[in-house]
A and B are shown apart, each in its own frame.
Chain A
């Protein structure tokens, strides 16, 4: 089923992005977040998987908040 394949691909990309982002990439957009403990970042992980294009856009645009 094509739609499910697209959703699976989207989530797979999100998983790769989330690994990088939660692992440290978050510091590129939010310095306060970089200081957060790992379990706090783990709370963001599902959202990163779902919202990765938006976050990627914020990272590319290079605008930092929360500092």
Chain B
């Protein structure tokens, strides 16, 4: 038995997160309309529906930037991790805001249903010139991609499409982003006389590109520093005092999944750092109620065997661990998921010295 499906995996933290997202959207769009009414007056006054659809568009565009920036930002600093863990809810909300913009724009520019409004909007442009470019098609493309992503964000899809296909599908957010940027550049800006919108859009693109580049370079450097080890080799993981109780140190081994070495009840256990649910970083979680608890959605595993406590059946790989003097070492070879491994204990000093002498004696 795996984890039963729930409509939404809410916990207290996620409820707060969702409440903050929802109220931020209302405040942002309301604020945009309010400020717009004050700023654009007289000849430059903008009608209420247009102000609202622009407010929704800007809000969705900003949210899309936040979503794209969270990933690399969290790789650069764990400060951003809580935002990353709830990115799916942010993504679905962003889609709904973008959909509201698309629906309102279609109805407004399509004459509120005189005839097929979508047809009217899509037929209004051309592909032969930049000035009258049919940018609405780019918006439609982005909405279709964002819809597929939002509609397949539930665990059911991850389980049934498989992690690889699901991940690829969700990487298409970059195609959606490119379509949205072009939609904005070729559409909105044609009617804009002020350069502010152009500069803001460009800054957003530069921010997304820069964060991804910096995070990529960091990752590359970290990989270069990762331990190079043969499968049967012991790797130095950490000093025994480096790992706080109920927490872990993540060990990176070239060409292998990272390993999370946990300290629990005076012993050390090592498991794969990759959660069986959606690949969450277990080593960033902690031990709650005797179980390693994934920081993303709370799946749990017993430290000594990598198995979810009954009745659940998820399993992750475990690793052999040992304590040598004041250092914790882990063997690079992953054991089959769910294999029990005796936690390594810190030995009394005399015993360690005794072992050391015995080994030296054997060597002589």
Q: Which residues of A does B touch, CB under 8 Å?
A: 1, 3-4, 29-30, 32-33, 35-37, 39-40, 42-44, 46-47, 49-51, 54-55, 58, 65-66
A30 and B160 form a contact (CB under 8 A): yes
What are 23 contact pairs spanning A and B, CB under 8 A? A1-B119, A4-B116, A4-B118, A29-B160, A30-B156, A32-B4, A32-B159, A33-B5, A36-B4, A36-B5, A37-B7, A39-B7, A46-B147, A47-B148, A47-B154, A47-B157, A49-B151, A50-B151, A51-B148, A51-B152, A58-B160, A65-B159, A65-B160
Q: Is the interface of A mostly helix, strand, loop or mixed?
A: helix
Shortest Cβ distance from B114 into chain A, in angstroms? Answer: 16
Q: Which residues of A contact B7 (CB under 8 A)?
A: 37, 39-40, 42-43
Given contacts A1-B123, A29-B160, are A51 and B5 in contact (CB under 8 A)?
A: no
A47 and B151 form a contact (CB under 8 A): yes
Question: How many A-B contacts are there with CB distance less than 8 Å?
Answer: 62
Q: Which residues of B contact A55 (CB under 8 A)?
A: 160
B154 and A43 form a contact (CB under 8 A): yes
- Bound-state Cα–Cα, A51 to B161, Å: 10
Shortest Cβ distance from A37 into chain B, in angstroms? Answer: 8
- Bound-state Cα–Cα, A30 to B162, Å: 12
How many residues does chain B have at the interface if contact means C-beta atoms less than 8 Å apart? 22
- Bound-state Cα–Cα, A41 to B8, Å: 11
Asked whether B6 is an interface residue with its Cβ less than 8 Å from the other chain, the reply is yes
- Bound-state Cα–Cα, A44 to B6, Å: 11
Instruction: Give the nearest-CB partner of B6 in chain A.
Output: A40
Shortest Cβ distance from A65 into chain B, in angstroms? Answer: 6
Q: Which residues of B contact A36 (CB under 8 A)?
A: 4-5, 156
B119 and A46 form a contact (CB under 8 A): no
Shortest Cβ distance from B315 into chain A, in angstroms? Answer: 15
Q: Which residues of A contact B161 (CB under 8 A)?
A: 54
Asked whether B46 is an interface residue with its Cβ less than 8 Å from the other chain, the reply is no
Q: Which residues of B contact A3 (CB under 8 A)?
A: 122
Asked whether B2 is an interface residue with its Cβ less than 8 Å from the other chain, the reply is yes
A66 and B151 form a contact (CB under 8 A): no
- Bound-state Cα–Cα, A66 to B227, Å: 35
Q: Which residues of B contact A44 (CB under 8 A)?
A: 154, 156-157
B151 and A30 form a contact (CB under 8 A): no
- Bound-state Cα–Cα, A42 to B154, Å: 11
Q: Which residues of B contact A51 (CB under 8 A)?
A: 148, 151-152, 157
Shortest Cβ distance from B155 into chain A, in angstroms? Answer: 9
Residue from the list A4, A32, A47 in contact with B2, Cβ < 8 A: A32
Interface residues of B in 129-159 (CB under 8 A from A): 147-148, 151-152, 154, 156-157, 159
A66 and B2 form a contact (CB under 8 A): yes
- Bound-state Cα–Cα, A51 to B166, Å: 12
Q: Which residues of A contact B123 (CB under 8 A)?
A: 1
A47 and B152 form a contact (CB under 8 A): yes
Shortest Cβ distance from A60 into chain B, in angstroms? Answer: 14
Per-position binary interface string of chain B over residues 5-31, scored 1 when its CB falls under 8 Å from any chain A CB and 0 otherwise: 111100000000000000000000000
Q: Which residues of A contact B2 (CB under 8 A)?
A: 32, 66
Q: Which residues of A contact B148 (CB under 8 A)?
A: 47, 50-51
Shortest Cβ distance from B14 into chain A, in angstroms? Answer: 15
Instruction: Give the nearest-CB partner of B123 in chain A.
Output: A1
Shortest Cβ distance from B75 into chain A, in angstroms? Answer: 28
Q: Which residues of A contact B116 (CB under 8 A)?
A: 1, 4
A66 and B118 form a contact (CB under 8 A): no
Q: Which residues of B contact A30 (CB under 8 A)?
A: 156, 159-160
Known pairs A32-B1, A33-B156, A35-B4. 20 more at Cβ < 8 A? A1-B122, A4-B122, A30-B160, A32-B4, A36-B5, A36-B156, A37-B7, A40-B5, A43-B8, A43-B154, A44-B154, A47-B148, A47-B151, A47-B152, A47-B154, A49-B151, A50-B152, A51-B151, A65-B159, A66-B160
